[in-house]
Structure 1
Amino acid sequence: MLLPDTTRAAVLHGPGDLRTEHIPLPPLGPGDVLVTVDAVGVCGSDMHYFADGRNGANTLRRPTVLGHEAAGTVAATGSGVALVTGTRVAVEPAVGCGACPTCRSGRYNLCPNGVCLGSPPTHGAFAESVVVPARAVHPLPDAVPLELGALIEPLAVAVWAVRRAEIGLGDRVLITGAGPIGLLVLQVARAAGAAEVIVTDVNDARLDRARAFGADVVLNTAGREDLGLDGVDRLVECSAHPVALWQGLRTLRPAGRATVVGQAGMSVDGLPLAHLQRWEIDLVTAFRYAHAFPTALAMAADGRVDLAGILTGRFPLDRAADALRAPQQDPSHLKVVVRPGD
């Protein structure tokens, strides 16, 4: 089989400068697979790179293909790969080097040597084809449509967040932020046994979605200094707004637990450390996920999580820039995908 050596891709050259062009494909090595991309979700990190040329501490150093929430079909395999061509897969974009002490301990999400698809300068999946390690792809259950396979990655984020939050049977949970991750965390928390889930945001449309996905209480926090809540067992912060975290921390019971999922700023002033210490409130963080894809796939397959309800827009590759602008221009959007084959 003659394999392609180039692919069409949406390449970011600078803030707002996204060009559809052909780029080289790396050769298919031992242990690799070539995936024909069906759908790629737009993440907040992609939007930051597109708007500002940076996401947190990482900056755009050379033209880069964005996109890390991908699903597609295996088109070819390298030597030593057991997968057969035609297998529908979700792509895990960051699997670590596999050899360092951190990876060998199981926490490959924290690999100091790892790279992630679509995180400059590593090319991502806004492309017709990608070459990735076979250990980075997960076969999709028959019950999960290929397009929705692109949402397995953000669902894995939610699964990991709930694990880090240690949400369990009977817990009262507060989720700050009703974007795609917050709404997925809501559903995973329910599946983990949360007895009550409260969701906050400043967007009524998103709060309506949260209610439809099973939130017991929704609160619009625009202009509010205090949430009027107490006795919360677990806080999961998904908004990336420090004020939301400060508000949420004050709702926790003694020995409660707060988990930061939304991307934090480089430094944040105002942390109520004395309050946390006095009540022994645990403050932890979540970064991507480790070993969360199998659980995410199972939850999507058996209907415990509604992925179709999160998907609100589709764009062809030539309109990838529109896809990256869409959630900002229309706040009713949750998750939009780029469909390279359309």
Structure 2
Amino acid sequence: MATVFKPRSRARSKKGKATSGSHLHEYLHGPLFIPVHEANPLTGHLGPLIMGHEASGTVMAVGEGVSDVLAGQRVAIEPVIRKPGDDDHYNLGAAFYGLMAHGFLAETAVVPKSAVHILPDRVSLQAGALTEPMAVAWHAAVRTGLVPGQAGLVFGGGPIGLGTAMSLRARGIDRILVVEPSASRREIIGKLGLDTVDPGADDFQARVADFSTEGVHAAVDAAGVSDAVTAGIRALAPQGQLVVVAAHLAPVPVDTNQLLMAERSITGSMGYHNDFPEVLRQLDAGAFALDGWVQTIPFEQLVTEGFDRLSSGQGVKILVEVGAE
């Protein structure tokens, strides 16, 4: 029941691609999730591995019993290794290709048929490689519970924050403010038709207050920094909710009285759960603008033009072509 494919973006394909924020953290601060001290209980992997978990590609061959996926089809890969018998919560306690098992920065990869999502004709391999991070963002947007007419605040203008803002917009939310310290990223965000604010500006608090005088109904921490949690809680309206989608490298102090007195809440958003089909529909409909913040580099430039540029604050999303023909 397996499918062999050549990955493409942030992983790879017959023309492949791969890399992500998670991998940047592993490169700069790891090992964080890569099992180097004891084997991952789900995959059995121990030690160094091939990274890459955001992938699109071209199917090379299919295993026995697979009839609804054909060689030559273009696909996006959902890189979750599911805990057996727990499909209702498969995003919780799961393992991921590229972090807990060999991933898609490779010539070819073999995945179960359940991981394969066929790309619509109008969705390119480049866009297909973004299905995984956009699914993370879409899941976070859903977790906010925001409905049209309500206001949302997104901390972080990286791929997940930007994807969350676009996902909220696709879900009919038109009052969105993105908090991002990088001037170059704020420029990109503005060109995508989204409002943005610098958290380091003297009038930051006033800008947020003017954005929604009653407080925002939901805020999303896609920044992974303590200040985003603190400011996010402060900006919430009574009974508002902070959704944490970013991983933090250290524990974050929280003033629980700010939650108690206004019945605010904090919830997590882990990966995605059956979100790939909807994200592919949104990509097919053109709901996610990709111009201006996504670029592609060859595999040979992964470190210099990929990790090094991202770590210095340059670029937003960099896809890696792993074997273009």
Matches within 5 A, 1:107-118: 107-110=89-92, 112=93, 114-118=94-98
Is 1:275 aligned to residue 283 of structure 2? no
Is 1:241 aligned to residue 211 of structure 2? no
Name the structure 2 match of 1:218.
Answer: 196
Name the structure 1 match of 2:30.
Answer: 53
Contact between 1:35 and 1:74, CA under 8 Å: does it hold in 2?
A: yes
Q: Which moved more, 1:283-292 or 1:41-50?
A: 41-50
Query: In the comparison of the two structures, how many residue pairs are matched?
Result: 301
Distance 1:36 1:198, change over 3 A: same
Measured after TM superposition, the shift of residue 57 of structure 1 is 8.5
Q: Which moved more, 1:130-139 or 1:228-237?
A: 228-237
- Whole-Å Cα distance in 2 between the matches of residues 160 and 277 of structure 1? 26
Name the structure 2 match of 1:287.
Answer: 270
Is 1:78 aligned to residue 63 of structure 2? yes
- Whole-Å Cα distance in 2 between the matches of residues 212 and 94 of structure 1? 33
**Paired residue type of 2:103:** G
Name the structure 1 match of 2:146.
Answer: 167
Deviations 1:166-187 (A, max 9, x none): 1211110101111111111111
Measured after TM superposition, the shift of residue 80 of structure 1 is 1.2
SS of the equivalent of 2:24 reads helix
Contact between 2:150 and 2:173, CA under 8 Å: does it hold in 1?
A: yes
Tell me the TM-score normalized by structure 2. Answer: 0.87
- Whole-Å Cα distance in 1 between the matches of residues 245 and 8 of structure 2? 27
- Whole-Å Cα distance in 2 between the matches of residues 137 and 64 of structure 1? 22
- Whole-Å Cα distance in 2 between the matches of residues 255 and 333 of structure 1? 36
Is 1:260 aligned to residue 244 of structure 2? yes
- Whole-Å Cα distance in 2 between the matches of residues 160 and 257 of structure 1? 15
Is 1:341 aligned to residue 323 of structure 2? yes
**Paired residue type of 1:180:** P
More RCO (CA 8 Å, sep 6+)? 2
- Whole-Å Cα distance in 2 between the matches of residues 32 and 266 of structure 1? 38
**Paired residue type of 1:116:** F
Distance 1:168 1:95, change over 3 A: farther
Deviations 1:120-141 (A, max 9, x none): 4x11111121000111010000
Contact between 1:183 and 1:213, CA under 8 Å: does it hold in 2?
A: no
Distance 1:143 1:51, change over 3 A: same
Deviations 1:10-59 (A, max 9, x none): xxxxxxxxxxxxxxxxxxxxx10001112224211111222233236965
Name the structure 2 match of 1:9.
Answer: none
Name the structure 2 match of 1:324.
Answer: 307
Name the structure 2 match of 1:65.
Answer: 50
Percent identity (aligned): 30
- Whole-Å Cα distance in 1 between the matches of residues 203 and 50 of structure 2? 41
**Paired residue type of 1:32:** A
Tell me the TM-score normalized by structure 1. Answer: 0.83
- Gapped regions of structure 1 (runs ≥ 5): 1-30
Distance 1:118 1:57, change over 3 A: closer
Measured after TM superposition, the shift of residue 117 of structure 1 is 0.6
Measured after TM superposition, the shift of residue 324 of structure 1 is 2.3
SS of the equivalent of 1:65 reads coil
Measured after TM superposition, the shift of residue 297 of structure 1 is 0.3
- Among 183, 190, 196, the residue aligned to 1:204: 183
Distance 1:58 1:253, change over 3 A: farther
Over aligned residue pairs, what C-alpha RMSD do you find?
1.9
Measured after TM superposition, the shift of residue 225 of structure 1 is 9.3
Name the structure 2 match of 1:8.
Answer: none
Name the structure 2 match of 1:185.
Answer: 164
Distance 1:195 1:303, change over 3 A: same
Name the structure 2 match of 1:300.
Answer: 283
SS of the equivalent of 1:227 reads helix
Contact between 2:58 and 2:74, CA under 8 Å: does it hold in 1?
A: yes
Contact between 1:34 and 1:74, CA under 8 Å: does it hold in 2?
A: yes
Deviations 1:46-85 (A, max 9, x none): 1122223323696585221011000001100111112110
Distance 1:183 1:55, change over 3 A: same
